[in-house]
Structure 1
C-alpha cells in the first residue's frame, strides 16, 4: 500500500500506460516508481470503470478513469517513498479497516482478497 502524496489516502500503486509499453510493463514500472519494489505480474484481478467516479485535476482536466488491476508478487527492490507516495507499507488484510482508503480501491482490495477464479468486469 502507498499513502498518496496528493490526497493523503492509502491506495494501491498505479498510473498511466506510456507509449511502447505493455500493460504488465506499466504495472511493473508504476509499482517500482511509487514504492521501490520490483514485482512480477501473476494474474488479473479485474477491469474497473465507474461513470459516477469522475476525477478533476488541478490543471482543469476532468475525466472518468478506468483501471486494470493486476495480481503480483514482489521479487526485489527496497521499499521507499516517491513524489507520489509519502508512505509505503505492507498491510495485512485485518489492518485495512484502519486505513483511509477510497471505496473504489477498497473494492479492488476486496476482489483481490477473494481470490476469484475469474476477473471482475464492470
Structure 2
C-alpha cells in the first residue's frame, strides 16, 4: 500500500473573541471545523487558505500569520493529513455566496461555546489550533515559501 499524506489548510478567524467555524455534514452527521480543505494543484498554501475560507463561509479574509503545522491521522479512516493552520482577520461577508456542497453554514463561536459542542467536532485539531492561536503561537507568513 502506498502511503500518501493529504496536504490541507485551515484558518483561525477571530472577531471580538468569537471564531469563525464551519458547520458541515460528515456523512449524515453535522460537525464543526475551522474553514479548511485540500490544497489544489498549482495553488499556494496562502491562496488555498483564502479560497477555502470563502468557499466554506462566504467570508473574504486577510491572512495575518501561521498558527502551526500539524500532522493528524484520522481514526475513522486512517488517512494522514498535514494541516497548515493560518490566522486571518475577517474583511467582508458575502451572505449570498454559494457555499461548497455539504456545508450547512458559517458559525461564530466563542471557545466556551465550541467546548460545549465537543461531540460534534470534526477532529481534535479544532481546539488545538484555537488554543495555539490564543497562546500567541503566531509565526510570520514569510515562513511559507513560494515555489520556484
Q: Which runs of 5+ in 1 are unaligned?
A: 57-61
Q: Which moved more, 1:24-33 or 1:13-22?
A: 13-22
In the TM superposition, 1:19-38 aligns within 5 A as 19-38=41-60
Q: Residues 27 and 117 of structure 1: is their aligned pair in 2 closer, same or farther, counting only changes over 3 Å? A: closer
Q: Residues 86 and 19 of structure 1: is their aligned pair in 2 closer, same or farther, counting only changes over 3 Å? A: same
Task: Provide the secondary structure at the position in 2 that maps to 1:112.
Answer: helix
How far apart are 1:17 and its partner, in Å?
A: 1.1
Deviations along 1:27-61, one digit per CA (max 9) or x if unpaired, are 0000000110011111000000035x3553xxxxx
Root mean square deviation, CA, Å: 2.2
TM-score by length of 1: 0.79
- Normalized per residue, the structure richer in strand is 2
Q: Distance in 2 between matches of 1:67 and 1:86?
A: 22
Partner of 2:81: 65
4+ runs deviating over 3 angstroms: 79-82
Is 1:5–1:83's contact at 8 Å kept on the other side of the alignment? no
Is 1:34–1:84's contact at 8 Å kept on the other side of the alignment? no
Partner of 1:112: 133
Q: Which runs of 5+ in 2 are unaligned?
A: 1-20, 141-148
Q: Residues 117 and 11 of structure 1: is their aligned pair in 2 closer, same or farther, counting only changes over 3 Å? A: closer
1:97 aligned to 2:115? yes
Partner of 1:59: none
How many residue pairs end up in the alignment?
Answer: 113
1:74 aligned to 2:90? yes
TM-score by length of 2: 0.67
Q: Which moved more, 1:91-100 or 1:23-32?
A: 91-100
Is 2:36–2:52's contact at 8 Å kept on the other side of the alignment? yes
